[in-house]
Amino acid sequence: MLQLDPASQVPLYQQVCDQIRQLITTGGLTVGERLPPTRELAARLGVHRTTVANAYAELTADGWIEGQVGRGTFVSKGVEPAKPAPSPAPFSASLENGYLWQMLFADTPVDDPLDSLLADCCNAASNGKVIAFTSASTANALFPVEDFRRCCSEVLRRDGGALLGLGNSDGYPPLKEFVRQELSREGIRAGDRELLITNGCQQALDLVRKVFLRPGDVVAMENPVYPGAIQSFNSGGVTCLGVPLTEQGLNLDVLESILAQQRVRLLLVTPNFHNPTGTTLSLDARKRLLELAARHHLPVVEDNIYGALRLRGRELPSLKALDTSELVIHLNSFSKVGFPGLRVGWVVANQQVIDRLRLAKQATDLHTDQLAQAALAEFGRRGLFARLLKRSRKVYRSRLAHMEAALERHFPAEVSWAHPEGGMAVWVTLPAGLDAGALLFKARERNVLFTPGRFFYFQAVQPNTLRLGFADTNEKQIDRGIEILGALLKRELGQRRRAPAERAETARVALV
Amino acid sequence: MLQLDPASQVPLYQQVCDQIRQLITTGGLTVGERLPPTRELAARLGVHRTTVANAYAELTADGWIEGQVGRGTFVSKGVEPAKPAPSPAPFSASLENGYLWQMLFADTPVDDPLDSLLADCCNAASNGKVIAFTSASTANALFPVEDFRRCCSEVLRRDGGALLGLGNSDGYPPLKEFVRQELSREGIRAGDRELLITNGCQQALDLVRKVFLRPGDVVAMENPVYPGAIQSFNSGGVTCLGVPLTEQGLNLDVLESILAQQRVRLLLVTPNFHNPTGTTLSLDARKRLLELAARHHLPVVEDNIYGALRLRGRELPSLKALDTSELVIHLNSFSKVGFPGLRVGWVVANQQVIDRLRLAKQATDLHTDQLAQAALAEFGRRGLFARLLKRSRKVYRSRLAHMEAALERHFPAEVSWAHPEGGMAVWVTLPAGLDAGALLFKARERNVLFTPGRFFYFQAVQPNTLRLGFADTNEKQIDRGIEILGALLKRELGQRRRAPAERAETARVALV
């Protein structure tokens, strides 16, 4: 609805001011309604943020609007519109600049243009031309699609009418049975009422959030972490506390000191092949973590999504398998072994927790698609999952070895990287001062892509980190891609060595 | 952790008090932590609520805990625990009574034992013995399962690898294309970026809630309404305002007066064959509703889930088809025509709204199962959906006519019922003073089930209402079931006529 005229003699901030005041008096903005943040309105109007800030300041001084710390800017309580306009401008008239929709949304997502630009760079998949180390998901080429198709046909023949009708919120019984058998092989005994089927781990996080967290609550989780966890928890007034990682995963000393200082409602942790760092918690660390949780009555969300993909070293029991306090809420999914497009995962927890999660699931989407559940159950019953897992581990193991050899061969000595025991990615740390985002822009010109570390941090971003996924690239792509990245890094470091004085100068200028 | 000893000489409330104090001093309860509501703790300990209330009062007086209006009871800020106990009792020791888990959950769902009892009664499906009018969902026997199986096989053969891998958050492109074609036949032009695929309408409600509502916001919706809408909106600090219905649906006079008085963030409305009342908004009412929305900048969530099931009367354009303001957020699903077990629905709205909903979808479960989406797209492409819809309408039309004839024949004159133009259920109003819940208990003894109206109200419950679903019962079951219900009602009304004095007496006693 705001329409600025740059040619007018009236200053822009005054135009903003006048038009908002008019909206208030005609009822287009009502008492208590929230105004968009200055940055956002400025972007929409194509003016400098100061222009909008000045308009807001004037309106505040005149009592039309008021700022509330930490909440935003609102139309003042004291303001009485003359009368609602008898026939206000239709809503659609204001749609073009999108300004009013922004006011109707509950949240304003942080929108960093650099992030979108980088995200665009990361989004392409490998093909004949591009080598993309961006994925930490399955190599779809490994899927035995024909076997899966037969499973689908079989379950539709057998149970079609029932599984195409509405089902139980906690899951399709034959799939639950199959998952429980798998769990018992991993040392987790779960009764039927201690298991809930979800749309993958992402939904499990969403349901846990709904059941456990209110605005103002604090969640502790690894920083860096899976971006979907940030999306799920770092909103709606929940505070995320980052726990840094050592080479052996979550730093328990830091966690212990956090727990001594404040009430944490929930801990999210990935003990096996943490995404993105690839770290694994030792057996002793797992035990100590469980002791801390029991002492502080702290529910622990264990994300075990990469757990089946151990590529070397000795198997370790999951937190849930070691858990005597029943505080562990164990999440897993089929998605890192096969068929992530089906969106099927599960939660194992104390029955009281599952009862609540089931209610939340019901209110969220009633239940998970039963065709996908039934087909996966049949696929598992026929032993095809075990076979796919075996094959995937073999392929991924070889790709990891290949990537490590290539890194050793091509990357400069100043760059270091983690040596994960499993999972799908290698975490790389560049020398301080190098920016993985800048490297990505250059690498893209050479048709090589990876994920800058900044996407995994929700605080204290380390811009010199990056993740190289190896699961969905073949050996040849790995060799070539790492060689290209290595050459770019060597050139960058060479330039830095040649021009330390200039760089120091630039840094000083940037700081002014 | 609280363990009461009824044989002790220490009063029960004192035991509760002592043990909570001990928990606070040993760090088992920390500063700021919320205590369970008195009703809940009392139920868990098996004591009267007053016992717990007294213990809380004593602890409050001594400064250990404090009540915060509208939020609950918390461990006081001023309290300093002596020191965390060096090795506290493990969490599992307290699990049996479940008391501590309750403190860890964000919300306390209202748990009315009568509701659970009634819900149990409603849950059974029709079979050889039981006649269940409880469903307002598809008759699964109508599904052409074999046709659907062939569609599944076809899409897996054609696109297996791709559709089993991760997909787009906004939906599987061929399904979006099919839905857009269907929409254009309904007079709704939606671009690709104005359409989002969801896990049925239930998830669409959840996503809308996430994007639009913050604690303290007000949503207006029909009362009574689909219980899933209550579950979705009536929580997390959102206030639901009930708008009553006339025989022509949502009462717009009441809505207008609400909008004049307060800021409503969102309106939820079902213009076609509203569940549970079966009412339909007239064309004039639709236009007036859109005018109101435009004047108040009120986003309108249009639930059109039963829209395709018009069984008589003239087709009316949906709000979205009439919408020039772009304020309408249109929800629909395949689930009331076929295959609700697949959980596939969609949202049509202004692109800015869809952008936000897509982000919320991504954070919720990445995307909807692609196998289900692809199979439905193929089923639609082959014209099988149109055929299933035609067949379903024919069957449901006949069942509705049969039910109305049976009601006419068997129900006493004091009972009235709605005459829906479509949908899957008939809404029945018993004479004031009769309780549909009590009737259900009696009907169950005769193996007839229905849904008491109380499940559809979130305020001002009318206990003398009930819903009779007709879609999933055959003609014979309808005749027999309505005859049994009619006989029960006649007997009940007869008793009331015979003993008005006694009933008045009972009412007085109940009031004391």
pLDDT tens-digit map of B378-403:
999 999 999 999 999 999 999 999 99
A160 and B145 in contact by Cβ < 8 A?
Answer: yes
For A392-445, the pLDDT digits (tens) are 999 999 999 999 999 999 999 999 999 999 999 999 999 999 999 999 999 999
Name the residue type at position B400. L
Question: Could you tell me what percent of chain B has a pLDDT over 70?
Answer: 90
* 8 Å CB contact of B359 and A28: no
Cβ contact A202–B363 (<8 Å): yes
The per-residue pLDDT for B10 is: 65
Cα(A70)–Cα(B469) distance, rounded to whole angstroms? 49
- Name the DSSP class of A474: -
A206·B84 Cβ contact <8 A:
no
Chain B positions in Cβ-Cβ contact with residue A199 (cut-off 8 Å): 199, 365-366, 369
Q: Is the pLDDT of residue B85 over 60?
A: no
Q: Where are the alpha helices (DSSP H) in A420-499?
A: 436-445, 475-498
pLDDT for residue A122? 73
- Helices within B247-324 (DSSP H only): 252-261, 283-296, 319-322
CA atoms lying within 13 Å on the CB side of residue A469: 24
pLDDT computed for residue A374 by the predictor? 98
Most A-contacting residue of B164, B219, B264, B326 (CB-CB within 10 A), to test interface: B164
Residue B457 tokens, joined? 């109200």
| Main-chain phi, psi angles of A100, to 5 degrees | -70, -35
Is the backbone peptide bond immediately before B412 cis, with ω within 30 degrees of 0?
Answer: no
> What is the spatial distance between Cα A228 and Cα A499, in angstroms, rounded to a whole number?
40
Note whether A87 and B325 are within 8 A (CB). Answer: no
Residue of chain B whose alpha carbon sits nearest to that of A215: B215
From B272, B145, B16, select the one nearest A152 (Cα to Cα). B145
**A462 CB-side CA count, 13 A:** 19
**Residue B62: band (very low, low, confident or very high) from pLDDT cuts 50, 70, 90:** confident
The residue behind tokens 């811009």 is A463
Q: CA of B440: how far to CAs of B277, B317, B427, B443, B468, in Å?
A: 19, 37, 15, 5, 12
- Burial level of A96, CB count in 10 A (0-12/13-18/19+)? exposed
CA distance B503 to A418: 79
Q: Confidence class of residue B319 from pLDDT cuts 50, 70 and 90?
A: very high
Tokens in use for A310? Answer: 């151990």
pLDDT of residue A507: 44
Nearest chain A alpha carbon to B297 = A91
Provide the 10 A C-beta neighbour count for residue A32. Answer: 13
Residue in B165, B299, B343 closest to A140 by CB:
B165
Within 10 Å of residue B174's Cβ, how many Cβ atoms?
Answer: 19
State which amino acid sits at residue A287.
K
Give how far Cα A482 sits from Cα of A444, A495, B348, Å.
13, 20, 44
Binary contact (A324, B92; C-beta < 8 A): yes
d(CA A29, CA A466): 46
Q: Which residue has the tokens 């307290």?
A: B94
Q: Are B151 and B378 in contact (CB under 8 A)?
A: yes
Are B160 and A148 inside 8 Å of each other by CB? yes
Q: Quick one: tokens of B474?
A: 């055959």
pTM of the shown model: 0.81
Q: Give dist(CA B152, CA A157) in Å, integer.
A: 12
Q: Give the residue from chain B lying closest to A1, CA to CA.
A: B297
Instruction: Tell me the fold of B12-104.
Output: Arc Repressor Mutant, subunit A (1.10.10)
Strand partners, A132: A449
Model pLDDT, residue B73 = 86
Q: Residue B328: its chain A contacts at CB < 8 A?
A: none
HSE-up of residue A170 (Cα within 13 Å, Cβ side): 20
For residue A191, how far is the Cα from the chain centroid?
30
d(CA B275, CA B222): 10
Residue in the structure block whose two tokens are 């195409």: A164
> First and final CA of chain B: distance in angstroms?
38
Instruction: Give the highest mean pLDDT range of A424-433, B25-34, B101-110, B495-504.
Output: A424-433
Q: Where are the domains of chain A?
A: 12-104, 113-136+387-511, 145-382
Query: Diameter of chain B by CA atoms?
Result: 78
Confidence tier at B88 by pLDDT (50, 70, 90)? very low
Residues of chain A with confidence (pLDDT) below 50: 81-88, 97, 506-512
Span of A489-503, B367-381, B416-430 with lowest mean pLDDT: A489-503
ipTM score assigned to the predicted complex: 0.80
Nearest Cα of chain B lies from the Cα of A507 at a distance, in angstroms, of: 37
Strands (DSSP E) contained in B202-344 are: 218-222, 239-243, 245-246, 249-250, 266-269, 300-303, 328-333
- Which of A95, A293, A365 is closest, CB to CB, to B200? A365
| Cβ–Cβ pairs < 8 A, chains A and B | 275
Indicate the residue type of B303.
Answer: D
Burial of A7 (0-12, 13-18, 19+ CB in 10 A): exposed
Nearest-Cα distance to chain A for B315, in Å, is: 26
Question: CA B276, B277, B279, B285: dihedral to nearest 10 degrees?
Answer: -90
CATH number 3.40.640.10 is the correct assignment for the domain at A145-382: yes
pLDDT at A82: 43
Choose among A283, A274, A264: nearest CA to A327. A264
- Asked if B137 lies within 8 A of A341 by C-beta distance, the reply is no
Q: How far apart are CA A450 and CA A444, in angstroms?
A: 9
Facing residue for A365 by CB, picked from B160, B206, B372: B206
Report CB contact under 8 Å: A342, B371: yes
Contacts of B260 in chain A (CB under 8 A): 84
Identify the residue among B2, B83, B92, B104 best suited for mutation to test binding to A, counting A beta carbons within 10 A and taking the highest.
B104
Question: Residue A335: its chain B contacts at CB < 8 A?
Answer: 166
Out of A95, A294, A372, name the one closest to residue B91 (CB). Answer: A294
Q: From the candidates B365, B373, B392, which should be mutated to test the interface with A, based on the most A CB atoms within 10 A? A: B365
Q: Which residues of B touch A31 (CB under 8 A)?
A: 263
A119 contact residues in B (CB cutoff 8 A): none
C-alpha–C-alpha distance, residues A392 and A388, integer Å = 6
Q: Which residue has the tokens 């095809």?
A: A384
Q: How close B349 comes to chain A (CA, Å)?
A: 12
The confidence score (pLDDT) of residue B505 equals 52
Q: What is the average pLDDT across B80-92? A: 47
DSSP-derived 3-state class of residue B266: strand
Q: How far is CA B461 from the centre of its chain?
A: 15
pLDDT of residue B328: 97
For residue A21, the surrounding DSSP H or E stretch is: helix A12-25
pLDDT value, residue A2:
80
**Of residues A106, A199, A338, nearest to B199 (C-beta):** A199
Q: Does domain A113-136+387-511 have CATH number 3.40.50.20?
A: no
Q: Whole-angstrom Cα distance, residue A153 to residue B219?
A: 44
Higher pLDDT, B325 or B404: B404
**Predicted confidence band at B79 (pLDDT cuts at 50, 70, 90)?**
low
CA distance B197 to A62: 46
Q: Which of A98, A104, A364 sits opposite B299 (nearest CB)?
A: A104
Residue-level pLDDT at B512: 36
CA atoms of B341 and B316, how far apart (whole Å): 29
CB contact (8 A) between residue B157 and residue A165: no
